[in-house]
Structure 1
């Protein structure tokens, strides 16, 4: 199994592009840890814990109040972002989406991504589409960065000595620089807002919202930064600078933490704050304040959000939760239900953190201030509890990855491991506080069982550079805390054999060895075990199984699985399938998964992980908007490749002036003896021979051979699965098209459309119009005319480069393919144009992926061109 995410397995620069941010983030995190260890080398960890526990209640209440107001202010970012986008949502929906987005995003880090996924689930259920939510998340990221920068600059202009420990410059220069920068930002933003103009810098366009929205945004930023700084400042020890000066320290530390891309800025934020404090501030008390701030401002909102999601999941399921807390109102039911999509990720993060905490408890049992029970029983309980903590912690860390991947078995094992952890911490040192937290976490995890539907192996897939960097960072953190807690104990070989009840350091050494050995062994096993072969063995019942699934699903595109040029992979229950073809390092899947929603989603995950395990790049071509949440959960990027023309058969009519010409041409064709005949499979050999002659004469007028992959081929085995529409005149066949869809279905598509060279120009138009009428008589509701490639791509300057290049090919690529003419012909029937996308995993070049797919479709580079 490869340990690298194969965003572009054939390109080393592409791998470097994916890996370097992860490596840089890990390096910065380790540097922050080293700096913290250097700064805190002489503090007593027991005193730090004692300092937190003796914090006065009024101080804690002030910090909690500031945190509550700060999170209310954070929701204001969502409120003004929606105003900027011209969208309107109920206030309770905005409050829920904003709070959950920030509670999870602030803890996990990279809030625009993790918080954006939560917002998408909630806001999309309330009516926003994926691109609205992406724009909202980007707006929030820019607004927060701008607000934090302004607050920090203004505070530094008032108190330039705040960062004296970090900036070696005269106060006057710091004051002038900070004040000038703040004035430039404020004046520039105000001018752009009032004038409505945009600033262009190196191809980027910067525009400001309307003055009212800009003012509201700045007020929210002021409250956000101020409340967060207050929550930390009230916890800081005596000697800390006044609040106005401390605000500049907080803003600078937060900005450095965000820029480091370390989750939550852990280690980096603390290092900057401690380095900026005056020398007379006790480091141990400052460390205690920073740890308490992490618990109050980050972990407490995360825990509250986790409980909120858990209770709402239980309320949706009915039963005791619905009776105790009431039923969810109908307007909020789709919004609450939408959260289920992010439950696996939330649960994975929570379980990962709890696993790390159990390892910390195992490594540092001396942190507890309770006296330990002496004697043999006490020694056995302490030793067993410490080792059980380490084992449960490792198990939870491993299971967290499987939870993110929605593996069903991982949910039950995680609950079991948490229960084991409860008994372990009680046996270790009667740690009732930790036992209560673990027990509540197990209870909160129970209602999430419905979200874990995949019957996959716990360890298949998911092990990439980001995961390895995360585990490495956690182990490094545990090691730093271990040395801080036990540096007063001199090391001797005898420590390994000391099993007395009060021997905390030997137990921590043994627990650390066990935990690190287990994690290392698991990763080595995952890295060195033989990879499963990706190729699917021949299945004599493949076509029959595909036909059975299509009979239950009514998905016309799924009939391309019968063309014979693609492999098909089924779900374990054989009720869903994907069709794909391989070329070099690309595994290109055609269309959306076909089958029941849960089975189809699970199959996509399985396919993704199996492709990754062999260093292949899974690409999903011509997908619709049906599974947008799935692609977002998997981290895939969507690039629009064209639009599908779909005719609503229930509303189509040739009446009216816009169809006057087409109506006259259809009547003339009927007078000339044109007729439509739809014949069902299996087809007589004589008919197929006649159609083959028409097909070959049609192909002779084209450049190259038969196409494939996303287009059917003239193969008797394929055509004998489909109905065929024939256009006759006086009994002679002039042209034909095969239909995609079951005879009694509601949705149909057209694949091959071929006609004799000497047939009149309007033969295909007659076929389409006659088919519309015939299918409507069957009570069908939709007819797909197929994809218009590169159609409907955005032309604005800010559009993706792929869209802009696609527009150029669409307008001027006649020598390659008549894209514009194809769309113009289909537009005559006034269809509903539905966007189609290619979904690409992180780091995949859309140009290379689409090139390989084009070669799959054409059958080779020599067949890409068509005649003029």
Structure 2
């Protein structure tokens, strides 16, 4: 097969790539998978459950350790210590919190500077503040700072890989900075750290000094060396010395200030502040490594184990509670107030809104969601702790006992509901907004009825007002009840419930358990009330889990009816992109929007529901349709995948909780400037002239002429399939179906009147863009046949007024191979460079590059937690018509 013939097929899909390129495990062709492969498949499928199990095991062990450490502490003593905290210490803690969050903006600034990107500092500071306010609360759980950064930077034109590098830079820089600050503590105050960890001070000083020397060497290499660091031929550019020094400085201020927040709240201890910073840094690192949301319990265990040796444990617990409220809760409340204020200003400013105000509106769903999550947890914890006796005395003279009991129970269960609702808020669902508004409003009333909880009621009122202020940001018309909670969200719920159980046993450790507790109803009986509230939360969580597992699957799959295909064809006729003509094959299921103005065509392989391209239809119908598809896949226990989506639409999929992976780059030729003149097009010009000398002629047949020549076209197709021992593909490429081919124009090449090559041409009534699908040629066709066909077709389309010709995608093209790039990029780059035995990646791009196209990235968006390799393997099976089609041709 000639290069032109091989590379001219519009096969951007992995249909010609055998299984090793797509990630499907197999041994020899046709052999069953071995025991090891089945075990690996089981582990991959069970990864979410294993992750939750491991996280819960860590959480339970940590809380058991804390319970042992605080076994002699009384809850009343902790409350007394809390009330005895000086106001000056609280004010200082608030000030150090502000300083820490100000220093955190250095991380984003340095990451952008390292990439050579410039963004106004107010925007960076606002994004950083919101990202850390949310990320600190949720940790690596259901809401992350990375999602906020993606939403913000993606709107500024950053590709997903760019955002991934920013997040990776921040993570690595924080890790190095944390190591440096810990090392300083070990060097300057090793004696205080030695006793808790059981190591000689000299050893600790040596370790700290070694870390500092390594960091200094890294800085020196950046300033005076090559500026790159690598291993085994792979290298990454280090930040410049100015950026690195700014990063170290920002980390030092951040860690020192955040440690000072807890330091000023703790009782007097023998541990010096430098040593305390080292202990604090270790506690933070272990909390992050545990993957428990917000490091809840892990951080506390380290602090109690170390500080509790030389200070009263009840005062340490009081300080830890205030630290969580001030450093975690207060910034989240402030962030919610800020984005709500910016949203109100945006509503009043109209078209004159500043970029800062617009950014606030973009970030508000995630921030409001995080505060809703935090308040849900707060209501559950409030339900297992007693109210002040003075407040209960007041209530006893105003309200009957059943109202107080009912309010206490309902608000605890409502807390679990808020946690579940917060996921819908993160995805901007209108149903979640209505549910949250009603639930939070009800919570304000219940908090007063159960115990006159003024502070709780004030924060809930702020959340209520923030929801009202940001109403127009929650516009996704998707059902809240169809949302399937991901493993991260179940881990967050489990963390809250396990922690609430521990708190309950700690608070009422002096109450002997008896079955009679469940039936005691008195104003003064707080233990039974808390016990019933926790039982309600557990039952509600179990019911939610059962509903998630047992609810009926919705959505239809299978071949569409002829009426549905006709409606889809009518819709695509008025769209600019012609790829959707693949719907004419009738081999893909169709999902229409509720108003029938737009549709998604998709296929199902194993647990993957794969949508081909972006939705087709008016742009305003896309958000609801994307959500409809994601819901349908999740309701069936599957994962949603959008294959070959365009970069300008990525925020749409991010809002639906999908992650983007770059597939390659599409080659698009601007026909207005395409001709055969000049030195750059000399190769095309000479090839075209040679084809004409060899007696080749070109013709663009309209559909009615195609029908008349269908027998000749099928003869060429059959010869092509036999010559290459290939089988028809499907899904993202058409097959030779006589009705399908006859419904579209066809570009044909003749020699001596006989058709020797053809390509089906896909267009729409807009006449904006054209592309080709099936490309077949006879074995005796000259080498330059397909190149001649493409050149002649583009010139004919140009004369007919078309603006763009899409040559299709070069798979895995444009991926970064740098060690700093995401794993998917490095894997794809390696396959692109070394996978020629499986697929002619370089040759395909080189052929398309002859036409001097513009390269535009194409992405695959997959449900969160789904491996890109697994998703692409399922897509490959869909395209190949089964595993046999992937392994063979």
State the TM-score, normalizing by the size of structure 2. Answer: 0.87
User: In 1, distance between residues paired with 2:785 and 2:221?
Assistant: 60
* Structure 1 gap ranges (5+): 1-6
| Residues 140-180 of structure 1, C-alpha deviations (whole Å, 9 max, x = no match) | 11111111111112112222233345311233333333333
Q: Quick one: which of 258, 273, 277 aligns to 2:307?
A: 277
> Hey, what does 2:773 align to over in structure 1?
751
User: In 2, distance between residues paired with 1:813 and 1:515?
Assistant: 54
> Hey, what does 1:158 align to over in structure 2?
188
Please tell me whether residue 553 in structure 1 is matched to residue 585 in structure 2: no
Displacement of 1:295 after TM fit? Answer: 1.1
Distance 1:128 1:837, change over 3 A: closer
> Hey, what does 2:382 align to over in structure 1?
361
TM alignment of 1:471-482, pairs within 5 A: 471-482=493-504
User: In 2, distance between residues paired with 1:765 and 1:584?
Assistant: 39
Could you tell me whether the CA contact under 8 Å between 1:422 and 1:439 is conserved in 2? yes
Displacement of 1:113 after TM fit? Answer: 8.2
Q: Secondary structure at the match of 1:377?
A: coil
TM alignment of 1:488-637, pairs within 5 A: 488-532=510-554, 535-536=557-558, 538-597=560-619, 599-632=621-654, 636=658
Q: Secondary structure at the match of 1:749?
A: strand
TM alignment of 1:89-100, pairs within 5 A: 89-100=119-130
User: In 2, distance between residues paired with 1:708 and 1:432?
Assistant: 63
Could you tell me whether the CA contact under 8 Å between 2:236 and 2:819 is conserved in 1? no
Could you tell me whether the CA contact under 8 Å between 1:108 and 1:114 is conserved in 2? yes
Which deviates further from its counterpart, 703-712 or 454-463? 454-463
Distance 1:214 1:32, change over 3 A: same
Displacement of 1:812 after TM fit? Answer: 6.9
Distance 1:187 1:799, change over 3 A: closer
Q: Quick one: which of 341, 348, 368 aligns to 1:347?
A: 368
> Hey, what does 1:709 align to over in structure 2?
731
TM alignment of 1:444-843, pairs within 5 A: 444-532=466-554, 535-536=557-558, 538-597=560-619, 599-632=621-654, 636=658, 638-666=660-688, 677-681=699-703, 685-727=707-749, 733-795=755-817, 817-841=839-863
How many equivalent pairs are there? Answer: 852
Which deviates further from its counterpart, 658-667 or 573-582? 658-667
Displacement of 1:477 after TM fit? Answer: 1.3
Q: Secondary structure at the match of 1:691?
A: helix
Could you tell me whether the CA contact under 8 Å between 1:30 and 1:476 is conserved in 2? yes
User: In 1, distance between residues paired with 2:296 and 2:507?
Assistant: 19
Could you tell me whether the CA contact under 8 Å between 2:612 and 2:643 is conserved in 1? yes
Please tell me whether residue 328 in structure 1 is matched to residue 353 in structure 2: yes
> Hey, what does 1:101 align to over in structure 2?
131
State the TM-score, normalizing by the size of structure 1. Answer: 0.89
Q: Secondary structure at the match of 1:366?
A: coil
Q: Quick one: which of 265, 268, 274 aligns to 1:244?
A: 274
> Hey, what does 1:230 align to over in structure 2?
260
Q: Secondary structure at the match of 1:446?
A: helix
Distance 1:334 1:346, change over 3 A: closer
Q: Secondary structure at the match of 2:644?
A: strand
Please tell me whether residue 390 in structure 1 is matched to residue 441 in structure 2: no
Displacement of 1:388 after TM fit? Answer: 2.9
TM alignment of 1:402-417, pairs within 5 A: 402-417=424-439
Which deviates further from its counterpart, 542-551 or 583-592? 583-592
User: In 1, distance between residues paired with 2:749 and 2:141?
Assistant: 58
Distance 1:89 1:490, change over 3 A: same
Q: Secondary structure at the match of 2:731?
A: coil
Q: Quick one: which of 296, 299, 318 aligns to 1:266?
A: 296
User: In 2, distance between residues paired with 1:491 and 1:810?
Assistant: 66
Could you tell me whether the CA contact under 8 Å between 1:567 and 1:579 is conserved in 2? yes
Which deviates further from its counterpart, 389-398 or 628-637? 628-637
Distance 1:457 1:65, change over 3 A: same
> Hey, what does 2:88 align to over in structure 1?
58
Could you tell me whether the CA contact under 8 Å between 1:647 and 1:782 is conserved in 2? yes
User: In 2, distance between residues paired with 1:691 and 1:462?
Assistant: 48
Distance 1:662 1:597, change over 3 A: same
Could you tell me whether the CA contact under 8 Å between 1:30 and 1:473 is conserved in 2? no
Distance 1:131 1:683, change over 3 A: same
Q: Secondary structure at the match of 2:669?
A: strand
Distance 1:653 1:336, change over 3 A: farther
Displacement of 1:269 after TM fit? Answer: 1.0
Distance 1:237 1:556, change over 3 A: same
Displacement of 1:53 after TM fit? Answer: 4.2
* Structure 2 gap ranges (5+): 1-24, 26-37
Displacement of 1:423 after TM fit? Answer: 0.8
Q: Secondary structure at the match of 2:672?
A: coil
Distance 1:741 1:149, change over 3 A: same
| Residues 692-744 of structure 1, C-alpha deviations (whole Å, 9 max, x = no match) | 23332333332222222221122133234423334457866454322222133
User: In 1, distance between residues paired with 2:871 and 2:815?
Assistant: 18
| Residues 236-261 of structure 1, C-alpha deviations (whole Å, 9 max, x = no match) | 12336332332222222222222222
Which deviates further from its counterpart, 279-288 or 195-204? 195-204
Which deviates further from its counterpart, 686-695 or 370-379? 370-379
Distance 1:793 1:721, change over 3 A: same
Which deviates further from its counterpart, 422-431 or 632-641? 632-641
Q: Secondary structure at the match of 1:646?
A: strand
Distance 1:24 1:851, change over 3 A: closer
Q: CA RMSD in A?
A: 3.4
Could you tell me whether the CA contact under 8 Å between 2:668 and 2:855 is conserved in 1? yes
Q: Secondary structure at the match of 1:737?
A: strand
User: In 2, distance between residues paired with 1:548 and 1:489?
Assistant: 72
User: In 2, distance between residues paired with 1:141 and 1:151?
Assistant: 15
Displacement of 1:672 after TM fit? Answer: 8.5
Q: Secondary structure at the match of 2:775?
A: strand
Could you tell me whether the CA contact under 8 Å between 2:368 and 2:463 is conserved in 1? no
Distance 1:842 1:18, change over 3 A: farther
Could you tell me whether the CA contact under 8 Å between 1:193 and 1:207 is conserved in 2? no
Which deviates further from its counterpart, 572-581 or 225-234? 572-581
Displacement of 1:417 after TM fit? Answer: 0.7
Could you tell me whether the CA contact under 8 Å between 2:130 and 2:335 is conserved in 1? yes
Q: Secondary structure at the match of 2:524?
A: coil
User: In 2, distance between residues paired with 1:596 and 1:573?
Assistant: 11
> Hey, what does 1:4 align to over in structure 2?
none
Could you tell me whether the CA contact under 8 Å between 1:112 and 1:137 is conserved in 2? no
| Residues 175-197 of structure 1, C-alpha deviations (whole Å, 9 max, x = no match) | 33333333333334434543135
Which deviates further from its counterpart, 24-33 or 798-807? 798-807
TM alignment of 1:292-331, pairs within 5 A: 292-316=322-346, 318-319=347-348, 322=349, 328-329=353-354, 331=355
